[in-house]
C-alpha cells in the first residue's frame, strides 16, 4: 500500500514539474541575452542548457588560467566584433 501511495505521489510531482516548466518556458525573458549561458548555442537560454550543466556538475578538471584564458577572451572579442566583458 505504501509503495502505491509513493508511486502516485511521485507521478503527481513529475506532472506538476512538467506543467510548471511548460508555463515557464512559454514566457520570454526581459533580460539581456548572454552567450556564455547558452551552452548549446541555439540562440536561447532554456532548460536544455541547464541540463547540460547539471550533467557536468561536480566533475573536476584543469581550470583555464593565464595565457589560455586570454586567448579565449581574445577569440570571443574577435567573433563578437568588439570588447568582451564577463560583467556585461
Q: Tens of pLDDT along 8-57?
A: 888 888 888 887 777 665 556 667 888 888 888 898 888 898 999 899 89
Q: Is 5 a residue whose pLDDT tops 80?
A: yes
How would you class 63 by CB atoms within 10 Å of its CB: exposed for 0-12, middle for 13-18, buried for 19 or more? Answer: exposed
In a domain, 87, yes or no: no
In a domain, 88, yes or no: no
Number of domains in the chain: 1
In a domain, 49, yes or no: yes
Structural domain including 56 reads 2-80
In a domain, 76, yes or no: yes
**Residue whose C-alpha cell reads 513529475 in the numeric block:** 14
- Which residues, other chains included, contact 52 with Cβ-Cβ below 8 Å and sequence gap of 6+? 39, 40
pTM more than 0.75? no
Task: Report pLDDT digits (tens) over 45-84.
Answer: 888 989 998 998 988 887 767 777 777 777 777 777 766 5
In a domain, 85, yes or no: no
Amino acid at each position: 500500500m505504501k509503495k502505491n501511495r509513493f508511486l502516485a505521489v511521485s507521478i503527481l510531482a513529475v506532472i506538476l514539474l512538467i506543467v510548471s516548466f511548460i508555463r515557464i518556458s512559454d514566457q520570454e525573458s526581459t533580460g539581456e541575452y548572454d552567450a556564455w549561458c547558452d551552452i548549446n548555442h541555439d540562440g536561447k537560454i532554456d532548460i536544455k542548457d541547464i541540463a547540460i550543466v547539471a550533467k557536468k556538475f561536480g566533475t573536476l578538471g584543469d581550470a583555464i588560467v593565464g595565457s589560455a584564458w586570454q586567448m579565449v577572451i581574445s577569440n570571443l572579442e574577435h567573433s563578437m566584433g568588439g570588447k568582451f566583458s564577463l560583467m556585461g
